[in-house]
A = this chain, B = another copy of it.
Amino acid sequence: MTMLAPLRPVAGNSFDVAWIRREFPVFERNPGLVFLDTAASAQKPRSVIDGIAEFYRSDYANVHRGVYGLSARSTARFEGARETVRRFLNAADVSEIVFVRGATEGLNLVAQSWGATFLKPGDQVLLSALEHHSNIVPWQQLRDRLGLELVIVPLDSSGGLDVAAFERLLTPRTRLVAITHIANVTGHVVPAAALVRLAHARGAKILLDGCQAVPRLPVDVQALDCDFYVLSGHKCYGPTGIGVLYAKRAILDAMPPWQSGGDMITTVTFERTTYQEPPQRFEAGTPDISGAIGLALALDFMDQVGRTTIRDHEQALTRYARDRLATMPGVSVVGAGSECLGVVSFTVDGVHPHDLATIFDQSNVAIRAGHHCAQPLMDTLGLAATARASFGIYSDESDVDALVTAIRAAQRLFDRPVQG
């Protein structure tokens, strides 16, 4: 396993981004790359890339059922990864960590196992106008199957979650609240702990979609006291194909299995099958062993950098970006900024976001353009598309400066006089 060199001394609230960046081979291989699409997926540090390769070279075998040494080592690495995730989220018990493909699968699992079992016709599920499609469509499917009602918490004037409306919309019929921890289009951070208290006071369970939060904020599921938490590994510097569903043990205990097959059963006859305890009950088939191990290496990397350091860095950089964009003529930043982290959406007068992305790409500035899998939010904002820049552990002010330069170039290109 490749170990990181000790962190360099940091200046002020920041850390040595140049050092961090050297740990991400993508920047060496793509000189000049200005990567501003971390909210879609993060780049991977050397320790993750090399660690997965090393695992396959040295310790790989299928897990759980092997008596021989290689399989015991593989199992120890895999279950060790689960413990790493537990520690990272400060879950009470390792059995509360279910490995899934990503947040989307985690949300579908909750909807189809917990939701289909415990929700009844007429029950309400509270979502917000900030949600990613992955936290909308599974609930729509369930609504159509069970006759639920989806209630949508609107935005406040800054484009964040309207907490007063949240409180008002919580009713005795609200059985579940499912809300993003950080909005993927605007970077708005919701007051998660307060929402959990409000939901619990009304007797509702609450799920937080932590896709954008886990890479940016220290997250402590026990302090939050949320019932469910989902995340995607590829967004926090880990490999694709792996994510986590956290749920309180008592809730997992009551949930029936969703997918079924090997590894999640106790006995099988053709008449009857009995199931394992959590988390195995929810991990049918051979799991993504190297994915789990890669995720643990990514979390270790984040821990080594320091999670409050990361948050402070993202905060400073987000502020810097919003401030710079706000002063540019013809540029509009989406949503007000005080509570935004890691993500900035914007539009440029006269240049469609899609065209911006193409123009930026010519100067190696990678941003995302479109609806960002949040069409209902775009409808609410009255926008068909935005350009979105998002930051990671390896981003710095020079990336923002490159973005500003690229916006100016796009404006020059599009504002030129042309022959009709």
Cα A50 to Cα B25 in complex, Å, equals 14
Cβ-based interface call for A331 (8 A): no
Cα A150 to Cα B373 in complex, Å, equals 41
Cβ-based interface call for A398 (8 A): no
Asked whether A68 lies within 8 Å of B261 as measured between CB atoms, the reply is: no
Cα A38 to Cα B126 in complex, Å, equals 47
Q: In the assembled complex, which residues on chain B have CB atoms less than 8 Å from the CB atom of A102? A: 285-286
Cβ-based interface call for A69 (8 A): yes
Nearest CB in chain B: distance from A236 CB, A? 13
Q: In the assembled complex, which residues on chain B have CB atoms less than 8 Å from the CB atom of A141? A: 257, 260
Cβ-based interface call for A133 (8 A): yes
Asked whether A61 lies within 8 Å of B40 as measured between CB atoms, the reply is: yes
Cβ-based interface call for A368 (8 A): yes
Q: In the assembled complex, which residues on chain B have CB atoms less than 8 Å from the CB atom of A61? A: 35, 37, 40-41, 366
Q: In the assembled complex, which residues on chain B have CB atoms less than 8 Å from the CB atom of A28? A: 57
**Which residue on chain B has the smallest CB distance to residue A140?**
B273
Asked whether B57 lies within 8 Å of A29 as measured between CB atoms, the reply is: yes
Q: In the assembled complex, which residues on chain B have CB atoms less than 8 Å from the CB atom of A150? A: 270
Cβ-based interface call for A278 (8 A): no
Q: How many copies does the complex hold?
A: 2
Pick out which of these stretches binds chain B: A13-21, A216-224, A288-296, A311-319: A288-296
**Count of chain A residues with Cβ under 8 Å from any Cβ of B?**
92
Asked whether A269 lies within 8 Å of B65 as measured between CB atoms, the reply is: no
Cβ-based interface call for A174 (8 A): no
Asked whether B366 lies within 8 Å of A268 as measured between CB atoms, the reply is: no
Cβ-based interface call for A121 (8 A): no
Residues of A within 8 A of B (CB): 25-26, 28-30, 33, 35, 37, 40-41, 43-44, 48-50, 52-53, 56-58, 60-62, 65-71, 101-105, 107-108, 127, 132-138, 140-141, 150, 152, 232, 234, 239-242, 257, 259-263, 265, 267-270, 272-273, 284-291, 354, 357-358, 360-361, 364-370, 373, 375-376, 379
Beyond known contacts A35-B61, A40-B66, A241-B288: 10 more, CB 8 A cutoff = A61-B366, A67-B354, A68-B360, A69-B366, A71-B366, A133-B268, A140-B260, A232-B286, A240-B288, A241-B241
